[in-house]
Structure 1
Amino acid sequence: MAKSKPLHWQEPTTENCPQCNGSGEFRGMFSSGPCAVCDGTGLVGENGEPLPVEDLLPMLRRQRDRIAGQIEAARQHYRQLLHTPGVREALAAEHERQQERQREKDMAFRKKLRGV
């Protein structure tokens, strides 16, 4: 008889990897790469072992979907701001100020190169 999967998947309890402190990256003196303890995820189970793929994939998918939702919400907020009176003009003015500052920096750099 085949094992049946639970109807509702429950995310396992995790901790930050003690080796990489949750970054998922090993940094040595001469090289760097994915952490060997947590398989590059930054997370380990309660027992300190890497998470099994069966648990890891749904967790990463949920995280990806959560981040995608946050990005979409930020884009929608930005679109709404653009319809607020005066915002487009303020953005254009700020863009012009940034261009002017860049031109001034370029001119100062050219003068420095010429020795003036």
Structure 2
Amino acid sequence: MAKSKPLHWKEPETENCPQCNGSGEWRGMFGSGPCAMCDGTGLVGEDGEPLPREDLLAMMRRQRDRIAGKLEEARQHYRQLLHTPGVREALAAEYERKQERQRDEDMAHRKRLRGG
């Protein structure tokens, strides 16, 4: 009989890899590459062993979903701000100021290049 998977997956306890200090990369004198101890993830289990790929994939999916949710919240907040009176005008004025500053910097740079 095949093993059944638990209905609710629990994220494993993790620690930073002691070999790479959680960076996921080893650095040598003449090169660098993914850490062999943690498979380049920067995380190991409580026992110091690399995490199983199934757990890593589930953790990455959860992190991706959390980030996507935060991005959508930020987009909604931005849309709401655009409907606030005066915000669009203030954004347009700031955009114009930035363009003017960039034009001034470009002109000064051209003048220096010409020796003036």
In the superposition, the TM-score normalised over structure 2's length comes to: 0.91
**How is 1:31-70 mapped onto 2 (pairs within 5 angstroms)?**
31-70=31-70
How many residues matched? Answer: 116
The amino acid across from 1:57 in the alignment is L
Once the two structures are TM-superposed, the CA of residue 36 in structure 1 deviates from its matched residue by 2.0
Per the TM alignment, residue 92 of structure 1 is displaced from its structure 2 partner at its CA by 0.5
Q: Name the residue aligned to 1:73.
A: 73
SS of the equivalent of 2:65 reads helix
Matched position secondary structure for 1:7 = coil
Q: TM-score, normalised by structure 1?
A: 0.91
1:72 alignment partner AA: E
Residue type of the partner of 1:51? L
In structure 1, what residue type is equivalent to 2:46?
Answer: E
Q: What's the offset of the Cα at 1:27?
A: 3.3
Who is 2:107 aligned against?
107
Q: Deviations over 1:3-60 (max 9, x none)?
A: 2221211111001122232222333343333222211222110111110012111111
Aligned twin of 1:5: 5
SS at 2:26 equivalent:
strand
Quote the RMSD (CA, aligned, Å). Answer: 1.4
Structure 1 unaligned spans of 5+: none
Runs of 4+ in 1 over 4 A off after TM superposition: none
For 1:56, the aligned partner's letter is L
Identity of matched residues, %? 84
> How many Å separate the matches in 2 of 1:26 and 1:89?
50
What is the alpha-carbon distance in structure 2 between the residues aligned to residue 9 and residue 105 of structure 1?
A: 56
Structure 1 residue 75, shift from structure 2 partner:
0.7
Relative to structure 1, the CA distance from residue 79 to residue 30 in structure 2 (aligned partners, 3 Å threshold; closer, same or farther) is farther
- How far off is 1:83 after superposition? 0.6
What is the deviation of 1:99?
0.5
